């Protein structure tokens, strides 16, 4: 099964930028939906940005549209999240996650954390005002 390791988190001022990295290893031949989720203290884990490795269809939470961009390398072993215009409300633990997706599936992938069965350890993002 694929293993995921996140990195790139840190502490920045409001309006700043960060780029998160998710390295995938193990069984990377299967078609996956992969993406970023976040969870702040006292809040539910929410889907932030998800991408289908087969086709590239994406999902973005309304709160991050226009500010965050998800992408992957050609080998599909590295997932990125470019975060611009960061706000204090973006402060959270960010997790990389994956689940199997059908090769022929199209449209925005699911943003429900309950449907993802492989998770990284998380990387903390803190945005101060």
62-87, pLDDT tens digit by residue?
A: 999 999 999 998 787 899 999 999 99
Q: Which DSSP string corresponds to 3-25?
A: EEEEE--EEEETT--EEEEEEEE
46-58, pLDDT tens digit by residue?
A: 999 999 988 789 9
Q: How high is the pLDDT of residue 55? A: 73
CA angle 60/64/67 to nearest 5° reads 110
Beta bridge partners of 64: none
Indicate whether 96 pLDDT > 90: yes
Indicate whether 97 pLDDT > 90: yes
């Amino acid at each position: 099964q694929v293993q995921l390791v996140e990195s790139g988190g840190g502490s920045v001022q409001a309006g700043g930028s960060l780029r998160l990295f998710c390295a995938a290893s193990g069984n990377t031949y299967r078609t996956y939906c992969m993406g970023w989720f976040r969870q702040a203290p006292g809040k539910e884990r929410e889907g932030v940005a998800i991408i289908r490795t087969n086709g590239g269809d994406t999902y973005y939470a309304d709160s991050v549209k226009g500010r965050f961009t998800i992408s992957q390398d050609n080998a599909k072993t590295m997932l990125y999240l470019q975060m611009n215009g960061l706000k204090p409300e973006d402060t959270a633990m960010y997790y990389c996650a994956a689940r199997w997706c059908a090769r022929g599936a199209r449209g925005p992938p699911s943003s429900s954390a309950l449907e993802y069965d492989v998770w990284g350890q998380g990387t903390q993002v803190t945005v101060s005002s």
